[in-house]
Amino acid sequence: MKITDLKCAVIGGSPVVRVTTDEGIDGLGQAEWAKPHLKPHVLYYRDYIIGQDPTDVERVVSRIRRLGSFKPWGSAVSAIEVALWDIAGKAAGLPVYKLLGGKVRDRVRVYNGGVRFPMEGQSPDHYAENMARMKESPEGFSIIKQGIAFHSEMADTVPDFYYGEAQPGVRFMQGGLMTERGLAHVVACIEAMKGALGDEVGLALDCGPGFTAPDAIRLAKAVEPLNVMWLEDMLSGDYTPYVQPELYREVTSSTSTPIHTGEQIYLRQNFQGLIEQRAVNIIGPDPLDVGGIAETKWIAEYADLHGILIAPHGVADGLIGLAAHVHLAATLPRNFIALEYPAAKPEWWRDIIEGLPDPIVRDSFIEVWDTPGLGIRFNTAEAKKRLAEQDRGFFD
């Protein structure tokens, strides 16, 4: 079997990858819906993989892996890798999880990072009300993640929140030393959310990046009695092209509150310091950023050897990304907590992808399905209606 083409269409904001072969089997992959700019980057790799055997996944990916980088630039490699696994599974007549070593679990736990309701404001009462709404969401999430501090509007709307100045621009990282008032406000909002959830639903917190190490320690110690699931990306994180394991280790060693990071990191080598130094308690690689399914599995197993947990990131990975997550999570070792549920965005994605359970999530779990490859497919007639003019040949 040989690869005959690599195509990419931006569908609902998501770059969608389609790898075709000379035997009529194709494979699908997807990058986050926030990355429509990645299409040229995906297509850059076309000449590197044409003519290769797609079922030799590692051989093909090794031709392009070194050309990626930290988020967002590892997404193109990752989406192509997922598409290759889809082809390999279809060619073998097996679900992808079988090719990864088989299931450890028949259903995978998901946490809520993407089923959102509008925030009415940034006060503790607003956070409590919003958390109560998410608690009643029909998916029955057992863990809910909420953005606070520099991963929310607090820095822009709460007076005297920190000593820095807000900077305009796309994805400019806010941050700086927090005021006593700002830190007290964050803690009050966390207390309010815990009041809404009680001990029935775990609360995870997406915090930055933007914290200084002293403030990260202060916050982590302040919320120790609340038993939050984790504090995520306080020092670095989303779109930060470095890791800083030494700083994270300083925070982690100072508190019993679990510390989490990793969504922006590309490749296993860049997790090495975090894992070997036990710099965090939980890592959160995104399979659609880190280099793909197999790369995430390798990282998870190495983390397990060091007693570190994993909760993969994936909030914007879409429904094709969700399928990749489920097959991967079914095979991960016991350090797996839950994956971040990639909700359909826009909602009409549910009309163009077939093969997922209905409903997808029951009581915070997704049942692992057994169809070959990723086990999902486009409803081509409906999907064609969503193609931009320049992408009309995507399904040809």
Q: Which of 329, 332, 371 is nearest to 92 (CA)?
A: 371
- What is residue 170's predicted lDDT score, i.e. its pLDDT? 57
Domain chopping of the chain, boundaries: 3-93+378-391, 98-374
- What is residue 173's predicted lDDT score, i.e. its pLDDT? 74
Q: How far, in Å, CA of 27 to CA of 9, rounded? A: 14
Neighbours of 118 (CB within 10 A): 6
User: Is the CATH number of domain 98-374 3.20.20.120?
Assistant: yes
CB 395 within 8 A of CB 16: no
- What is residue 267's predicted lDDT score, i.e. its pLDDT? 98
Q: Following DSSP, what letter does each residue of 202-218 receive, concatenated?
A: EEEEE--S---HHHHHH
Give the position of tokens 């770059």. 15
- What is residue 167's predicted lDDT score, i.e. its pLDDT? 75
Q: Which of 50, 3, 11, 49 is nearest to 30 (CA)?
A: 11
Strands 365-367 and 230-232: unpaired
Model's pTM, two decimal places?
Answer: 0.97
- What is the CATH code of the structural domain delimited by 3-93+378-391? 3.30.390.10
Same fold, 3-93+378-391 and 98-374: no
- What is residue 174's predicted lDDT score, i.e. its pLDDT? 81
> Phi, psi (5° rounding) for residue 169?
125, 155
CB 163 within 8 A of CB 176: yes
Give the position of tokens 């073998």. 92
Q: Following DSSP, what letter does each residue of 65-119 receive, concatenated?
A: GGG--STTTTHHHHHHHHHHHHHHHHHHTSBHHHHTT--S-SEEEEEBSS-----
pLDDT 10s per residue in the chain (396 long)? 999 999 999 999 999 999 999 999 999 999 999 999 999 999 999 999 999 999 999 999 999 999 999 999 999 999 999 999 999 999 999 999 999 999 999 999 999 999 999 999 999 999 999 999 999 999 999 999 999 999 999 998 999 999 988 777 656 678 999 999 999 999 999 999 999 999 999 999 999 999 999 999 999 999 999 999 999 999 999 899 999 999 999 999 999 999 999 999 999 999 999 999 999 999 999 999 999 999 999 999 999 999 999 999 999 999 999 999 999 999 999 999 999 999 899 999 999 999 999 999 999 999 999 999 999 999 999 999 999 999 999 999
* b/e burial code for range 295-313 (CB count within 10 A of at least 16 → b): bbbbbbebbbeeebbbbbb
